[in-house]
């Protein structure tokens, strides 16, 4: 065991996070996301029994966001005409603020199929059992620089 590693992070995910380099992306997916089919070319880590907010909190405590792009976080935009509850995004903004000093302005919205295409390029997809719709995120990894890690 190691000190300081959130207990929700299994060894495989810790390995993948440390393998990722600057600019690599990571998807944290809700329970409805097609993680296995979209993630055919990526590592897929299942964190069944966990929701996206707790996974985001753990991951972002270890991984810096890309400081060289305006919006290092992408969210799946709600489909037109869909009134699904997206209040979970507020929780994401609070987590991003606490760990990275980031907020809604640092998140871009991607149309559903555009999100899938971006997710196919991810180094890793974390599949959760989150029940909220449109709860998916893509995080772009940044650099550890003197003073931030």
Q: Is the pLDDT of residue 138 over 90?
A: yes
Q: Where are the domains of the chain?
A: 11-140
Give the C-alpha separation, 140 to 37, whole Å: 21
Residue 54 above 70 pLDDT? Answer: yes
**With contact defined as beta carbons under 8 Å apart, do 17 and 94 qualify?**
no
Among all chains, which residue has been given the structure tokens 């991810």?
A: 122
For residue 24, is pLDDT > 90? yes
Contacts of 129 (CB under 8 A, 6+ apart): 31, 47, 48, 49, 50, 51
Is the predicted pLDDT of residue 149 greater than 60, yes or no? no
Structure tokens at 37: 């089919």
Residue 22 a catalytic site member? yes
State residue 139's pLDDT score: 98
Segment 83-119, tens digit of pLDDT: 999 999 999 999 999 999 999 999 999 999 999 999 9
Angstrom distance (rounded) from CA 25 to CA 147: 23
- Average pLDDT score over residue span 50-54: 98
Q: What is the mean pLDDT of the chain?
A: 95
Q: Give the confidence band of 144 by pLDDT, cuts at 50, 70, 90.
A: confident
The question of whether 68 is a catalytic residue gets the answer: no
Give me the CATH code for the 11-140 domain, please.
3.40.1650.10
Examine the residue annotation and report whether 93 is marked as an active-site residue of this protein. Answer: no
Catalytic residue among 57, 66, 92, 106: 66
């Amino acid at each position: 065991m190691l000190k300081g590693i959130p207990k929700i992070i299994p060894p495989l995910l810790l390995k993948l996070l440390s393998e990722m380099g600057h600019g690599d992306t990571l998807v944290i997916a809700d329970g409805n996301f097609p993680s296995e089919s979209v993630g055919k070319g990526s590592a897929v880590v299942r964190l069944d029994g966990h929701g996206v907010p707790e996974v985001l909190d753990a991951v972002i405590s270890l991984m810096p966001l890309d400081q060289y792009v305006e919006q290092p976080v992408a969210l799946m935009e709600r489909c037109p005409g869909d009134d699904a509850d997206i209040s979970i995004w507020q929780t994401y903004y609070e987590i991003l603020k606490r760990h990275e000093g980031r907020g809604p302005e640092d998140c871009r919205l991607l149309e559903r199929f555009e999100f899938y295409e971006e997710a196919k390029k991810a180094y890793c997809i974390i599949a959760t059992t989150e029940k909220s719709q449109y709860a998916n995120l893509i995080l772009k990894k940044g650099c550890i620089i003197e003073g931030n890690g």
